Amino acid sequence: MKDLQFNRHRRLRNNETIRAMVRETTLHTNDLIYPIFVAEGSKIRNPISSMPGVYQLSLDNLGEEIDEVVALGIPSVILFGIPLEKDAEGTQAYHDHGIIQEAIRFVKERQPNLMVIADTCLCEYTDHGHCGIIENGQVLNDPTLDLLARTAIAQAKAGADIIAPSNMMDGFVAAIRYGLDEAGFAHLPIMSYAVKYASAYYGPFRDAANSTPQFGDRKSYQMDYANRNEAMREATSDVEEGADFLIVKPALSYLDIVRDVKNNFDIPVVAYNVSGEYAMVKAAAQNGWIDEEKIVLETLTSMKRAGADLIMTYHAKDVARWLGAK
């Protein structure tokens, strides 16, 4: 035994103080973006059964939620609108008084320093549930771009701080950048859902946003989950077109992609810890099968370790509480 040669890695793990000194990755409340579902109407506070702790809220119930987010020190929210009326062209997405525009105005008035990110897509506003215009059962690319640019401009006029297009049409960043610049919003950043996979992990979100496609699926525009090189092509296009942030979505099953994006591009990377990832953790925690706090902190730290600068997560309020208590 005396002459045995080996390295003593455990020296740096001896106690919590030294572990904290050598820790490579830290999760901060500043990293968090909290998604909120805003429903048109009044007195709405509908729990989403597959997402315990998450609600559809009408504007009269939004104030409390927003104040809580700010009090917890979370710097930003991303808003999703649920309109009363849907139609084939998703008119309510770009109407100046659509629910999303009203929600943006409300939040900016109440909490001017909270960064409001607007999700820019049509699927919550179309009666067919697809993210673009439909003709003969196909989602049309170029005619959809025009509506996305109009949506982004309407959101910008309402006071959105960041535009986050999530529809996966080709050229959507170029079209939105051009539209925003023409309308006098050259200063507004675009947080592009650059790498968005066609994923079963969005199931609970579609319940929450009433946005399940009425026919077919989203595979002709969202990416095949088997592909990695394609993620680089998507991200490259979005950077060329003027994206200021790159989102990878979902997060947990795609940490390799988060790392690839981080290594290949020098703009901030955002991981979207999506609804299905949240639902799985909540279900297991409610059964007492896992320790929710420990699982969530480990999971979100792994996203940062993979290269995410920011994380969109339904756990944000809980995480802010847990980090604040440490």
How many residues contact ligand PBG, by CB under 6 A? 12
Residue 120: name its binding partner from Zn ion, ligand PBG, none (Cβ under 5 to 8 Å by kind). none
43 is catalytic: no
Q: Is 119 in the site for ligand PBG (CB under 6 A)?
A: yes
Residue 206: name its binding partner from Zn ion, ligand PBG, none (Cβ under 5 to 8 Å by kind). ligand PBG
Q: How far is the CB of 86 from ligand PBG (least distance, A)?
A: 14
Residue found by looking up tokens 């007195």 in the block: 43
Q: Is 194 in the site for ligand PBG (CB under 6 A)?
A: no
Using CA atoms, how far apart are residues 242 and 234, in angstroms rounded to an integer? 13
CB 55 within 8 A of CB 38: no
Q: Is 254 in the site for ligand PBG (CB under 6 A)?
A: no
Residues between 148 and 177 that touch Zn ion (CB under 5 A):
167
Q: How far is the CB of 34 from ligand PBG (least distance, A)?
A: 12
Strands 138-140 and 133-135: antiparallel
**Binding ligand PBG by CB under 6 A: which of 141, 171, 183, 206?**
206
For the CA atoms of 26, 77, 118, 104, what is the dihedral angle to 10 degrees?
A: -160
**Binding ligand PBG by CB under 6 A: which of 79, 121, 145, 195?**
121
Q: Rg of the Cα trace of the chain?
A: 20
Catalytic residue among 2, 43, 219, 249: 249
Q: Is 166 in the site for ligand PBG (CB under 6 A)?
A: yes
Minimal CA–CA distance to 249: which of 276, 271, 226? 271
Quick note: the x/- pattern for ligand PBG over 270-299, rule CB under 6 A, is: ----xx------------------------
CB 57 within 8 A of CB 36: yes
Tokens of 244: 């200021």
The DSSP output letter for 87 is: B
CB 162 within 8 A of CB 117: yes
196 is catalytic: yes
Contacts with Zn ion by CB under 5 A lie at 121, 123, 131, 167
Tell me which residues are annotated as active site: 196, 249
